[in-house]
Amino acid sequence: MRLQDKTVLIASIFGLISQDRAAANDAAAPAASVSEVVITGQQPSDLANSGTKTETPLIETPQAITVIDRHDLDLRVVQNLNEAMHFTAGVGPDTRGNTAGRYDLQTLRGFSPEQYLDGLRLIGSVNGYATPQVDLAFLNRVEVLKGPASGLYGQGSPGGIVALSSKLPVLERFGEVVLSGGSYGTERASVDFGGRIDEAGHFSFRVAGTGYHSDTQTQHVEAVRYGISPSLTWRPDDLTSWTILYNFQHDPKTGDYGAMPVQGSLLSNPNGRVPRDFYDGEPGYESFDRRQNAVTSLFIRKFGDWEFRQSARYMQTETIYRSVYHTGLQPDLILLGRSVAAADEAVDAITVDNQLTASKKSGILTHNIIVGVDYQKTHQTEAAGFGGDVAPLNTFDPLYGSPVIPPRHRFQCPAQSASNRNLWAGPDRPRRLALGPQRA
């Protein structure tokens, strides 16, 4: 269990004192007493996979990449991806404000970035309500690749991509329980445990789970989430690895997606200031229920200098959305005009990425080669409408409970499918010229 705030500061001070004493003792001890401690299971922060689709040092990657590892996520106690990217250069997080936490709304170099999970694109609905969001409790690291990446990922945002990596099984046995709390009745409980199943290490597992609740900073709405992500890895030998990962996440409530009237918040209003916790909807009608199910396969097989990798995922995202939103203040700057939105959306997505890599030497040159093909197929249904009828709301003395008439005219997209194939090849990093003595 991790404790926060002052306890962490005190623990850090004592940790520094302990390190100084330990350093003095090590200096006085004979060289034979020095032992090596090796910690595995977490990728170093100076390596990244997103820039070349292989584990490559940042210094050898000809593109700007920011790595946010698990230690950084835990240290800052971030609750979502927007918070995780607050200190990332080139990123504009919270583009709709920090109350709209149901989506990861951000810009990267001025464009909305695509998201990838374990090398596979996260696909949402065309209308945008059935868009998946992965809780940070299930992630091991976040990589922000800046600039165009179509050479390896196909058509996408010129601003770059956000690459997420799931927590996967490791051989060392471990267990962790995290409890945290904060303002507005925010509380979270998470577990993470796993390790080898047999002594030979052929099988290992990991289970991550989380539960979250918050009253949020807006009146009459709550945010609730719970999910679990078990995984199993089979390593029959040193050349083969196969991991199966399942992820279930349910968001029965996701807080507020509304907005403040500009007069009385950003601009002055002769009638006063709008309270910061103002809610423009109808508590009896407001609903946003999202369910996500995903099964992922990660396979690796080595053949001499060559290595074959296949990543595949089936993901289903379903969303039910009901909301009353404001359309602006009326001339008296007191009554707030309102309208109604409703949407039912579902997306089934299959994504596969195949890679073949090799490292070849010719004299003093080292050639790193990668070739691959990826495939994406989606099937989605959408029904949505905007308009309806609902009474205006007194901004400074709100009285909720007005009848809500859903939109009469709703557009409905028939079930539609789309597929995409992308073939790519090239060196996975610049060729290296090594001078001087070479190590085997």
DSSP sequence for 238-258: TTEEEEEEEEEEEEEEE----
What percent helix, strand, coil does the chain show, rounded to 5?
10, 50, 40
| Residue 30 resides in a domain | no
The predicted pLDDT at position 413 comes to 65
List, for residues 84-94, the tens digit of each pLDDT value: 999 999 999 88
Contact 102, 255 (CB under 8 A): yes
State how far the Cα of 249 lies from the Cα of 317, in Å rounded to an integer: 10
| Residue 175 resides in a domain | yes
Gap between the terminal Cα atoms of the chain: 44
| pLDDT greater than 90 at residue 179 | yes
The predicted pLDDT at position 416 comes to 61
State how far the Cα of 156 lies from the Cα of 142, in Å rounded to an integer: 18
| pLDDT greater than 50 at residue 14 | no
CA gyration radius, the chain? 25
| pLDDT greater than 60 at residue 135 | yes
The predicted pLDDT at position 98 comes to 67
Rounded to an integer, the average pLDDT of 416-424 is: 64
Which among 440, 423, 432, 431 has a CA at the least distance from the CA of 356? 423
CA 200 and chain centroid, separation: 33
The CA angle 147-64-113, to the nearest 5 degrees, is: 40
Which range has the worst mean pLDDT, 266-280, 296-310, 408-422?
408-422
Q: How confident is the model at residue 230 (pLDDT cuts 50, 70, 90)?
A: very high
| Residue 213 resides in a domain | yes
CATH number of the domain residue 371 falls in: 2.40.170.20
| Residue 17 resides in a domain | no
Q: What tokens appear for 192 in the block?
A: 């993470």
- For the question of whether the overall pTM of this predicted structure is more than 0.75, the answer is yes
State how far the Cα of 346 lies from the Cα of 379, in Å rounded to an integer: 8
The predicted pLDDT at position 47 comes to 87
State how far the Cα of 149 lies from the Cα of 181, in Å rounded to an integer: 39
| pLDDT greater than 60 at residue 433 | no
Rounded to an integer, the average pLDDT of 70-82 is: 92
Contact 388, 339 (CB under 8 A): yes
Task: Say which amino acid occupies 308.
Answer: F
Range of the domain at 223: 47-433
- Total number of domains constituting the chain: 1
The predicted pLDDT at position 282 comes to 95
Rounded to an integer, the average pLDDT of 148-168 is: 90
The predicted pLDDT at position 278 comes to 94
| Residue 16 resides in a domain | no
| Residue 19 resides in a domain | no
State how far the Cα of 429 lies from the Cα of 367, in Å rounded to an integer: 9
| Residue 79 resides in a domain | yes
The CA angle 389-390-391, to the nearest 5 degrees, is: 130
CA 322 and chain centroid, separation: 25
The predicted pLDDT at position 195 comes to 97
| pLDDT greater than 50 at residue 437 | no
**H helical segments located in 132-268:** 150-153
List, for residues 34-62, the tens digit of each pLDDT value: 444 444 456 677 888 888 888 888 988 88
Q: How confident is the model at residue 145 (pLDDT cuts 50, 70, 90)?
A: very high
Contacts of residue 25, defined as CB under 8 A and 6 or more positions apart, other chains included, come to: none
The predicted pLDDT at position 28 comes to 47
Residues for the chain: how many in total? 440
> Which DSSP helix (H) or strand (E) runs through 232?
strand 223-237
Contacts of residue 436, defined as CB under 8 A and 6 or more positions apart, other chains included, come to: none
| Residue 11 resides in a domain | no
Burial class (CB in 10 A: 0-12, 13-18, 19+), 299: middle
